[in-house]
Amino acid sequence: MEKHHKFSIWYVLLGVWFVLILNNWLYSSLGPVHLAYSEFLAKLRQDKVSELAIGQQMISGEMVGDDGKTVKFTTVRVNPDLAKELEGHNIVFRGEVESTFLRTLLSWMIPIFLFFGVWYFMMKRMGPGAGVMSFGRSGAKLHAEQDIPTRFADVAGVDEAKFELEEIVNFLKNPERFTSLGGRMPKGVLLVGPPGTGKTLLSRAVAGEAGVPFFSISGSEFVELFVGVGAARVRELFAQAKEKAPCIIFIDELDALGKARGVAIAGGHDEREQTLQQLLVEMDGFDPRVGVIIMAATNRPEILDAALLRAGRFDRQVLVDKPDLKGRLDILNVHAKRIALGPNVDLKVLAQRTPGLSGADLENILNEGALLAARAGHNEVTMADLEEAVDRVIGGLEKKNRVINEREKRIVAYHETGHALVAALTPGADQVHKISIIPRGIAALGYTEQRPTEDRYLMSRSELLGKIDVFLGGRVAESLAFGEVSTGAANDLQRATDLARAMLTQYGMGQTLGPVTLARRNQPVFLPGDAALMPPAQEFSEATAAALDAELREMMDQRQSHVQQLLGDQRQLLDTVAARLLEREVIDHKEFRQLLGDLAPAESTAASA
């Protein structure tokens, strides 16, 4: 609900003070010269006065100054018989009525009204969400119930989360059904999950299904430079929500506001903590019978303040995770309704190619496919367009203009062939879907795409070692073909080392620590980023660290020897696949299986290829 700018007496006083200062300055610097009456008579008798305006109290006019220039002057009238004396000097003079009260009042009011007109115009141009007057406003966007078209049918891939939130909808529609039994709904519902999984979309679907107003605001919009502004915005938001009840308050990126207290950077102010405390107070004193549901979303639940998560505040947490195979297929079906798909499009194959992608990524793939089809002049989106869209989203744009010399191109071909052959010859490894030596993205000169046949949530030690073997396959293939290695395996080595270190320090799969873990505490759940690559905190002795380093080196040497033996036995096949890759630049899974011949994985394993 948009509010008008509030009137304040301080603005009136400020305007009056400004006009007084301006008037005094203008009068003193640009106004007429004030003469004593005796000086005026002396100038008059010297015939230097040229024109006069005579009032009841004041006399103003023009005279010739000492430099010969005409100067305006004023003086106080003293002699009542001045007219007789003026007649002898040939001076043009006239009478003047002194200013009345009304005239004086208008001379002051017109500048003041002009000042307020300019101020109001500037405030209107700045909008209701800007300016000094808006510091205490929450800035929440209010969406009326008729303006929310989103429904649960528009949300796919998160069936468990939808089931949990349907209860919220039922409460908003029929609260007596719950309160009659003495129960109450949770005051707050926290949606946690990786970015792009549909947390905001779910909250809008709840409001759309329930048919209630929807307040939407980001956690960062509460915190300002000045202490106390954020707390005022929280109070104002909850006051608006009570007026619109039943309704939903949705706070996006709650971690910007609800970060655990006591860990602030030294030298910072208390604005964020005061804002958080005000939110806790408002939620704690909120009557659930009012019909206001507070929903929030975050992808950093591990850093939230414990007081936010206790019973009575955000006491229900709903996981909105990345979709599985069925969920990805459902999401693709929802977004494909607006895309003109060709008859050869198989969304199931597309869902199998995109493990680990969020709903936003899948929507982007369909959109990119439609753009590629339009660019190529197609009347409908083909499977080839969607395959290219997947490559663009996962690997980046093709660098068709990047010129690579023949030697580097051969190195890249053997490198990618090494990855593919090790993956094909390792039991339990993900299937090879495509091999390419076309540069993509920022630094990738080629890539080998593997496609899992099913969603996996657990991995055994042998499967993890197989992943390390695939990482090392490119480097070993270079060594066999050229007798030396290149810098192209830097990322592979990093990923292999991180996985091996995790096996030893986190998964209890090593000999040095045994069933002991040295995992990092409070590491990000959904946004690992660089934190996942950092070594664990030093919570063990130097002797243990040295033993871990030795075991890590031994494990990597063993895997490299295993891969060297594996590819050495298939040297002819390595040369054959690399030569075909140099010729074609891209080898798909069907052609790769033909090149493997009898070494191809069993048909049952590749049924989804």
Provide the residue type at 78 as one letter. V
- 8 Å CB contact between 224 and 230: yes
Question: Do 389 and 365 meet the contact criterion of CB atoms below 8 Å apart?
Answer: yes
Residue 143 annotated as binding site: no
Q: Hunting for tokens 């339990």 — which residue is that?
A: 428
Question: How many Å apart are CA 571 and CA 589, to the nearest integer?
Answer: 20
Report the 3 state secondary structure along 424-457: HHCCCCCEEEEEECCCECCCECCEEEEECCCCCC
d(CA 568, CA 148): 63
Annotation-wise, does 605 bind a ligand?
A: no
- H-only helix segments in 217-297: 229-244, 271-284
CB atoms within 10 A of CB 144: 11
Task: Check whether 68 is labelled as a binding-site residue.
Answer: no
Annotated binding residue 196: yes
Distance set, CA 310 to CA 284, 299, 314, 516 (Å): 10, 18, 7, 31
Helix, strand, or coil here: 588?
strand
- Catalytic residue numbers read 416
Nearest CA-CA partner of 420 in 408, 433, 438: 433
Cα–Cα distance measured from residue 403 to residue 406, given in angstroms and rounded to the nearest whole number? 10
Please tell me whether 198 is known to bind a ligand. yes
355 annotated among ligand-binding-site residues: no
**Is residue 487 marked as binding?**
no
CA dist 377 and 365 (Å) reads: 18
| 194 labeled part of a ligand binding site | yes
| Residue 197 marked in a binding site | yes
Cis ω before 195 (30° cut-off from 0): no
589 known member of a binding site: no
Residues 539, 542, 544: CA angle, nearest 5 degrees: 75
CB–CB of 242/292 below 8 Å? yes
- How many other β-carbons are positioned within 10 Å of the β-carbon of residue 260? 16
Kindly report the three-state secondary structure assignment for every residue of 321-358: CCCCHHHHHHHHHHHHHHCCECCCCCHHHHHHCCCCCC
**What are the angstrom distances between the C-alpha of 17 and each of 11, 22, 23, 501?**
10, 9, 10, 72
Q: Is 287 annotated as a binding residue?
A: no
Q: Which residues contact 190 (CB under 8 A, 6 or more apart)?
A: 254, 295, 296, 297, 298, 301, 308, 309, 314, 316, 317, 318
Residue pair 512/548 in contact by the 8 Å Cβ criterion = yes
Q: With both helix axes pointing from N to C terminus, report the angle between 461-482 and 490-505 in degrees, rounded to the nearest 10.
A: 150
Residues annotated within a binding site for ATP: 193-200
Residues annotated within a binding site for Zn(2+): 415, 419, 492
Residues annotated within a binding site: 193-200, 415, 419, 492
